[in-house]
Structure 1
């Protein structure tokens, strides 16, 4: 269990926070050499869909952030990559560490919740638990709590699928524990149902070498000589990053009743994590305001996105196909006052770099006063 600091309750908002759990490696499966050191895999978990929607509607910047290796799946759930541990499919036991951090932020409702480094523990009796580091800061800092590797959820397990020594689970039911409820300031009672969990773990890769027959002598040289060298390279996972070619966009001048146009500065998304987990880039704009208090609603800004995979001049890795899809066009009047996708890459095709942009159109209401208007468009990558 973790250690806690500060108050255990904060009356901040109404609704439930979903904290998932990991899964148990149990059931009748082919025997493996036990225990197996974990070298790969992931934990996919969404906490609770209703909570993600609630936080996403808030004023966090961004409302939901991932870092330290965690990433956002196309369906809004989160992917935590494996970070070591062991499992034994035959005995039905495991302790698998996953890395990464997810931060839920809602300044208007005065809270920030950070969940990091989940650990899947399986006892072999059909039950499992999820441990994690949890930090809560609420009510302007007057409520704080920190837990180190606390059991925040339990899970009802089913027999794993075993393929080439790797184990995987799908759609396992998870339940919030009393420790999890306390970690999140009592926002949800113990026993609350959480989003289902999908998890996997695979063995550490080995690099076998061909044995040499000590009785087989080397062939003599032919006079010219030859030599060979084995070259190795370690490729480590990088980061999911977003860069922009500029920070200011000037739209064309327009009179009331007309449309001001321009182009978004091109942005580049680089997925160098090595997980091919997918990503989504969304944008939302504030109202346009002018000196004296005049304003044009954010919904009057529309866009038509474009996207393309960046050409680096290198030959792509074998078996890997990168693809990026632009978001759908959004018309002025029903536009970017709410979040819309600029571009995205799905799971299995997100590796590498892509460039995204958009043609912008701002509808000027006939009721608008003359003046210089400005707004802030925020792009969020997850």
Structure 2
């Protein structure tokens, strides 16, 4: 083999450096390796800020926990919900606020059996974010816990909210919340695999 064909990886790197990044053919023999540099120029974003909500993927599987002779109880956790507000003060209408509402549909099983959404409650909690700026909603009882409006179940209930969007600090705010879900049903409930949907909506 000719001498100029048996160039090593180290020598190849030196040639690339010496050439100032000019296009130089890269040849390597078996056992050699070639490094490829990667460059990126990230400039400051120029698009306007935005108010957005993201929800972690996945379904909620409720598992029986803490049942008694009079109430069957099932618990689980809502996937994490993140609201990010990167708007500047001049982009936020005066007196503006935003909030995330959660509403559950009735639980349905094959064969027509159902459980009303009023049997589902939650306890929101903040996972990350500044609780002096963004607040979480209150606990929601099920209809088996209380006859009051707070016990009507998961219907248009606040998960996360910001009362004054103008209070968003410079640089924006990002807050993540979840909720501990509790389903309570009578001991006479019909056995079956039930499914429901929780709709999360961001309003301003």
TM-score over 0.5 (shorter chain): yes
Residue in structure 1 matching 2:102, options 283, 296, 299:
283
Instruction: Indicate the residue corresponding to 1:349 in structure 2.
Output: 167
How far, CA to CA, are the matches of 2:140 and 2:99 in structure 1?
17
Whether the 8 Å contact between 2:119 and 2:185 is mirrored in structure 1 is yes
Query: What is the Cα deviation at residue 359 of structure 1?
Result: 0.5
Query: C-alpha offsets along residues 31-63 of structure 1, whole Å, 9 cap, x if unaligned?
Result: xxxxxxxxxxxxxxxxxxxxxxxxxxxxxxxxx
Cα 1:349–1:290, aligned 2, differ >3 Å: closer, same or farther? same
How far, CA to CA, are the matches of 1:342 and 1:238 in structure 2?
23
How far, CA to CA, are the matches of 2:180 and 2:116 in structure 1?
19
Query: C-alpha offsets along residues 272-314 of structure 1, whole Å, 9 cap, x if unaligned?
Result: 2224543100000000011101011001100001125448xxx
Query: C-alpha offsets along residues 204-252 of structure 1, whole Å, 9 cap, x if unaligned?
Result: xxxxxxxxxxxxxxxxxxxxxxxxxxxxx78552221111112300010
Query: What is the Cα deviation at residue 323 of structure 1?
Result: 1.4
How far, CA to CA, are the matches of 1:370 and 1:258 in structure 2?
12
Cα 1:250–1:346, aligned 2, differ >3 Å: closer, same or farther? same
How far, CA to CA, are the matches of 1:278 and 1:309 in structure 2?
20
* 3-state secondary structure, aligned to 1:332: coil
Say yes or no: does 1:267 pair with 2:81: yes
How far, CA to CA, are the matches of 1:381 and 1:274 in structure 2?
19
Instruction: Indicate the residue corresponding to 1:300 in structure 2.
Output: 119
How far, CA to CA, are the matches of 1:309 and 1:322 in structure 2?
12
Instruction: Indicate the residue corresponding to 2:184 in structure 1.
Output: 363
How far, CA to CA, are the matches of 1:308 and 1:250 in structure 2?
20
What stretches of structure 1 of length at least 5 have no aligned partner? 1-232, 312-320
Say yes or no: does 1:373 pair with 2:190: no
Instruction: Indicate the residue corresponding to 2:49 in structure 1.
Output: 238
* 3-state secondary structure, aligned to 1:323: coil
Query: What is the Cα deviation at residue 349 of structure 1?
Result: 2.9
Whether the 8 Å contact between 2:76 and 2:181 is mirrored in structure 1 is yes
How far, CA to CA, are the matches of 2:45 and 2:137 in structure 1?
35
Instruction: Indicate the residue corresponding to 1:257 in structure 2.
Output: 71
Query: What aligned pairs does 1:322-333 form with structure 2 within 5 A after superposition?
Result: 323-333=133-143
How far, CA to CA, are the matches of 1:234 and 1:248 in structure 2?
34
Query: What is the Cα deviation at residue 364 of structure 1?
Result: 1.6
The root-mean-square deviation of aligned C-alpha atoms, in Å, is 2.4
* 3-state secondary structure, aligned to 2:63: coil
Whether the 8 Å contact between 2:117 and 2:154 is mirrored in structure 1 is yes
Cα 1:346–1:369, aligned 2, differ >3 Å: closer, same or farther? same
Structure number with higher relative contact order (C-alpha < 8 Å, ≥ 6 residues apart) = 2
The count of aligned residue pairs is 141
